[in-house]
Structures are given as structure tokens and as C-alpha cells.
Amino acid sequence: METSNDFGALGTGITNQALLDWLAGELVQSGWNTKHVLRLILNSSTYQLSSDGMNDKDSTNRLHWKHSPRRLTAEEIWDSYLVLTQQMKFEIGGPPVRPKMPDAVLQTSSTPGRVWQPSPGDSANRRAVYIHVKRSIKLPLLANFDSPERDFSCPSRFATIVPTQALTMLNSERMAEFSDRFAARLNGTLEEKIAEAFKLATSRKISDGELHELMGLAKDLNEKHGVADDQVMPRLCLLILNLNETLYLD
């Protein structure tokens, strides 16, 4: 429901009351087991339909006749990158963590030296749900990808497309670290590393054409732009981490 914060007459209303009632009944009969209901939805043929093509009668997919492509949320992007770079700490519970905050963000505070004490070592490499919440400053990667504000409730997420997202994804210290770590986990020849990185990030095998383009880019980086051999793969990893297939669920 688009207006999940307004169930009244001014809201958009329910598009499939029978389905909602059936799912509610399943939830009650399963002993309020939300995992059971989620499993039913995820295993349904409707959920698994491709999003290719559009239906003239329901171009906005209000009737949920297909899976709508969407960009990963800010927290999902953070978690995905930690998994791809093999840095994720999977411990459950515990106190919140504070990943390293860029100096430019800290300088916006009246006490930049005390406002955000980073967690030691790699202990902050946990799921985004465990990141300490401070309303006055936020990690750029999360803030730029529409993580919710802390001053009011967030009934639904909106995915904006703004220039600061591209700047963060291409030029930030955090993304440079992710790219280096991603490249470090790859093995084999340059061609094999590219194929492995592509498959890890997109969950599919790279095509011959895509591999040819990336190999050509690697050659240009090395010969035309003077990028050292050991820095070529991190640059390619940065590109792969920015692919739509990496950042979007289709």
C-alpha cells in the first residue's frame, strides 16, 4: 500500500482485499508465524515472475501481478558490500557499533573529536541494523541512499536518484576500501578475477561481450592512464560494485 501511514478514506486503499484476508488467515492459523507467511509469499509463482514488459492495464503494478524491480535500500547496500568483501561480522545482538566516519562529516559537529568515537579494528563491520544512530550525523553511504530520518516515523521508503550518490560511490574512502577488499578475495588471472567478481556481485556468469569490454578497460587503465598493475583490479571492482545489477533487485 503506497500510503501505509494513512488507512483512512484519503489513503490509496487495498487493491486485493481477498488476498490480504487470506494471508491474514494464514498468519493466525500458523500461530502468528511471520516466517511461514513470508515463505509462502517468496515461494509463490507471482513473486517469482519476471519484471520484463509492462501491462497497459496496471503499469504501476498496484495489483502485484509481477515482481517490481527496486534498488537495494541503504542498509542492504551496506550489508551486501560487507558480504562481498568478506568483512561481515555475523554476531547477533550486542551494543551498537560506530564505523569510521569521514572527517568532512565530523567537522559539521561542534565537537568533532568526541561526537563519534569509531569502534576499534574491524568490530564495526556488522549489519547496518547495529550501527549507532545519531540524528546530527550519518554515514554518507547510508544517508545518500535514503536511509530514514530519525526525527519521525518512516512508513514507506522512497528511492531518490541524486548526484551525491554517484560521487559517494565513486570517490569516497569507504568505497575505495570496499573495492580493495573485494579485489583481494579474487584468485587467478586477470580474466578469471573479472569473471569471479562479476558472478559474486550479480549472481550470474559474465557474458563474452562483457568480459571483452572489461578486459579492454583494464588495458586502457594500464597503458593509457598509467594505473599500476596491482591497482587495475580494484578499479574494475569499483565499477562492478556500481553496476545496476549489483544495486538493483530485478
pLDDT of residue 52: 62
Q: Is the pLDDT at 1 greater than 70, yes or no?
A: no
- The 10s digit of each residue's pLDDT in 157-189 is 788 899 999 999 999 999 999 999 999 999 999
**Residue 81 vs residue 69, higher pLDDT:** 81
Predicted local distance difference test score (pLDDT) of residue 113: 86
Q: Which residue has the cell 568490530?
A: 123
Examine residue 1 and state whether it is found in any structural domain, yes or no.
Answer: no
Q: What is the 3-state secondary structure (H, E, C) of the chain?
A: CCCCCCCCCCCCCCCCHHHHHHHHHHHHHCCCCHHHHHHHHHCCCCCCCCCCCCCCCCCCCCCCCCCCCEECCHHHHHHHHHHHCCCCECCCCCCCECCCCCHHHHCCCCCCCCCCCCCCCCCCCECHHHECCCCCCCCHHHHCCCCCCCCCCCCCCCCCCCHHHHHHHHHCHHHHHHHHHHHHCCCCCHHHHHHHHHHHHHCCCCCHHHHHHHHHHHHHHHHCCCCCHHHHHHHHHHHHHCCHHHHEEC
- Domain final residue, candidates 68, 84, 109: 68
Q: Is residue 240 part of a domain?
A: yes
Give me the pLDDT at residue 2, please: 64
Is residue 197 domain-resident? Answer: yes
How do residues 123-136 score in pLDDT, each as one tens digit?
A: 999 999 999 998 88
Range of the domain at 30: 17-68
Evaluate whether residue 31 is within a structural domain.
yes
pTM above 0.95, yes or no: no
Residue 190 lies in a domain: yes
What is the count of structural domains for the chain?
A: 2
Handedness of CA 135, 141, 143, 146 (dihedral sign): negative
73 in any annotated domain: no
Q: Take residue 221 and report the three cell numbers written for it.
A: 587503465
For 84, 168, 174, 185, the CA distances from 232, given in Å and listed in that order, are 18, 20, 18, 14
Task: Point out the domain boundary residue: 46, 68, 90.
Answer: 68
Q: Is residue 216 in a domain?
A: yes
Confidence category of residue 3, pLDDT binned at 50, 70, 90: low
**End-of-domain residue from the set 68, 86, 111:** 68
Q: Provide the pairing of β-strand 70-71 with 248-249.
A: antiparallel
60: in domain: yes
| Separation between Cα atoms, residue 244 and residue 113, nearest integer Å | 37
